[in-house]
Structure 1
Amino acid sequence: MRILSWNVQYGKSVHNGSDFVRTLDYIKSLGDFDAICLQEVARHMSDYCTQDQPDQYLLAQKYFSNYQGLWGSGFSWPSATMNPNDRQEFGNLTLIKNQLLDFKIHQLPQPAAPGKWQMPRVAIEACVNSNLGPLSIINTHLAYHDSNEAQLQVEHLYALEVERLGQIQSPKGQGPGCFQTGHVPSARILCGDFNFDPQGTHYQYQVNSDWIDSWQHSLPNKAQPPTCGIFDRDQWPQGGHCRDYFWLSHELTTHSINVNVDQTTDLSDHQPIILEINF
C-alpha cells in the first residue's frame, strides 16, 4: 500500500504564484497511490483560490477521476457569488483508490484562545479494504497558533484510537439496519500536518500514547528529515524542520515499512511525504 500526505498550501508555490493544477500534475508525476491525503485545500475563498480555479476539491476530483474523494472542512460560509452552492470552505481532502468501507469527518476541539488566530479544523477518517482487513487512514491538520488547542486535538485523536481498541476487545452486538457492527478498523494510520517538531511536548504525547512514528520505526538511527521550511524562509525563518508525519498503530509495526520525504519541490511551504507498507 502506498499513501501520499502533503500540505499543498492551496497550490501556492514558494516562488511561482498559485496554480492548483500544477500541484495536481506534480502529484500524478509521483506515481500511483492507494490513498492521497491533502491538507490546506480551498473552495471559493478569494484569499486562496484563483478566479479560474475557484473550487480545488472539484479540480482534484476531475484530475483523479478513478479515486473517490472525501472532503472535510471545519466551516462552510457563504461566498461572494450568487450561487448558494458555492460555499467558502478550507480543509482536508482524501482521495481513495481502494474499496471504501466507511468514512467519518471528526471535528477537532477549538477551545477559547483570546487574541490568537484560530481555524476550525477536522480529521477525515477513511476505512478502506486491505490485505490486513479494514484499515483506517486519518488525514488531519492541527492547530499552529495555540499550544493548548493543539494538545486538545492530539488528545481527541488518541481518544478515537482508544475507542477503536475497545471495540476490538469488546465487540458490540450485531443488530439490524444502522445497528449492524459495521467495519471496525484492524489497524490505523494517522497522517498530515501536525504543526509540531520531534523535540516538542506534543510529539512526546504521541509517543507516550503508543503511536509509532513511521520514520523512527523504519530508520531509527537516521535524523528526522525536514518536511517544511526548506524553500520558504519568509514563513519559516528557522529553515527546514519536520512537522508532517505518518503515525502508525502497533498492529502495523510487524510489516515492512518505508517512508520518504520529497525534498525537491517548492510547490508548497511543505514537502510531500510518502508511506509504503507491504502487507
Structure 2
Amino acid sequence: MVVITWNIQWGRGADGRVDLERIVDTAREMADFDVLCLQEVADNYPGLEGAGTSCQYAELAKLLPLHCAIEGVAVDRYTPGIGHQRFGNMMFTREAPIQVLRHQLPWPADATEPSMPRQLTEAVLPSPGGPVRVMTTHLEYYAAGQRAAQIEFLRELQAEASRHRDLPRYEDQMGKPFETRQRGSRAIVCGDFNCGSADPMIARLQQPLGDAPAWRDAWAIAHPGEPHPMTLGLYDRQQWPDGPQSFDFFFVSADLADRVKRVEVNPATQYSDHQPVLLEIDT
C-alpha cells in the first residue's frame, strides 16, 4: 500500500497561485498511490487568499474520478452574506472502504489563542493481511493545550479500535446499521501534527497503550538515526520567517512496524507551504 499525505494549503503555492490540478499531478508523479490524504481543503472561503467561493471537495473529486472520495469536514458553518462554508481534510482511496468513520477532535476552550474545530477521517480498507485503518488529521497549531488533548484522543482511538477487532457478527443485522463491520489495531495515521519531531507530544503519542499496539514513527523505522526532513516552510519564508520545520508525519501501529518499506519526502514541489510525504508499507 502506498499512501501520500499533504497539507495543500487549499492549493496555494509559494507563487501565490491556487491550482488543485497541479497538486494532484504532483501526487501522481510521486507514485501510483493507493491512498491520498489531504489537509486544508476549502469550500466557499473567499477570506483565504486565492480560494474564492469554489468547492474544492468537488473539484478534487473530479480530478480523481477512479478513487473513492471521502470528505472530512472539520469546520462547517453558515456565514451571512457568504453562505455555507466548509474546511478540513479529504481522503481518496483506490479500494472501496469497508467503512468510514469521522471523528471530531477535542476542542477545549482556550481564550488566549485563536483556534478552530479539528477532525480526523478514518477509512477501514481491505488488504491481503486483513483490514487496515488509514487515518488523516490536522492538529491544532496555536493552542498547545488543545493539541495535547488531540494527541490523547489519537492514543485513545487506537486503544478503542483494537478492542473492536474481535467483535461478534450478528447475522440478523446484516445489511442494517447495526451490522458489525471490521475494524482493528492495524493502522496508519498521517497528516499535519503542527509540532516538530522533538516536541514532547510526539513522544507522548508513541508511549505504550496497554494491550493495544502503540503508535510508531514510520520515519524512524525506515531511517533509524536520521533526523526528520523538513516538511514546512522550505520555500514560503513570508509565512514561516523562522525557517523550515518538520510538522508532517506518518505513524503506524506496532503490529505494522516491521512492514514499513519506505518513507520519503518530496523536497522539490513549491505548490503548498508544506511538502508531501509518502509511505510504502506491506499490508
Q: Report the TM range for the smaller structure's normalisation.
A: over 0.9
**SS of residue in 2 equivalent to 1:136:** strand
Counterpart in the other structure of 1:220: 224
Q: How does 1:24-43 map to 2 (within 5 A)?
A: 24-43=24-43
Runs of 5+ unmatched residues, structure 2: 209-213
Counterpart in the other structure of 1:164: 161
Tell me if the contact between 1:49 and 1:55 (Cα under 8 Å) persists in the aligned partners. no
- Give the number of equivalent residue pairs: 275
Counterpart in the other structure of 2:211: none
Alignment partner of 1:204 is 2:203: yes
Counterpart in the other structure of 2:244: 240
| 232-241 or 102-111, which deviates more | 232-241
Taking the aligned partners of 2:184 and 2:167, their CA distance within structure 1 comes to 12
**SS of residue in 1 equivalent to 2:42:** strand
Cα 1:113/1:79, change in 2 over 3 Å: closer
User: Which one of the candidate residues 94, 97, 102 is aligned to 2:94?
Assistant: 97
Tell me by how many angstroms 1:257 deviates: 2.1
Q: How does 1:63-74 map to 2 (within 5 A)?
A: 63-74=63-74
Tell me by how many angstroms 1:195 deviates: 0.6
Taking the aligned partners of 1:133 and 1:80, their CA distance within structure 2 comes to 47
Taking the aligned partners of 1:49 and 1:25, their CA distance within structure 2 comes to 22
Alignment RMSD (CA, Å): 1.9
Tell me if the contact between 2:122 and 2:133 (Cα under 8 Å) persists in the aligned partners. yes
The two structures have a TM-score, normalised by structure 1, of 0.92
Runs of 5+ unmatched residues, structure 1: none
| 41-50 or 153-162, which deviates more | 41-50
Taking the aligned partners of 2:144 and 2:8, their CA distance within structure 1 comes to 23
Taking the aligned partners of 1:256 and 1:107, their CA distance within structure 2 comes to 28
Tell me if the contact between 1:133 and 1:185 (Cα under 8 Å) persists in the aligned partners. no
Alignment partner of 1:174 is 2:174: no
**SS of residue in 2 equivalent to 1:75:** strand
Question: What is the percentage of aligned positions where both structures have the same residue?
Answer: 31
1:188-227 per-residue CA deviation (whole Å, 9 max, x = no partner) reads 0000000111111111101214310000011112111111
Cα 1:53/1:264, change in 2 over 3 Å: farther
Counterpart in the other structure of 2:134: 137
Tell me if the contact between 1:12 and 1:268 (Cα under 8 Å) persists in the aligned partners. yes
Alignment partner of 1:187 is 2:191: no
User: Which one of the candidate residues 239, 253, 258 is aligned to 2:257?
Assistant: 253
**SS of residue in 1 equivalent to 2:98:** strand
Tell me by how many angstroms 1:55 deviates: 1.1
Tell me if the contact between 1:100 and 1:127 (Cα under 8 Å) persists in the aligned partners. yes
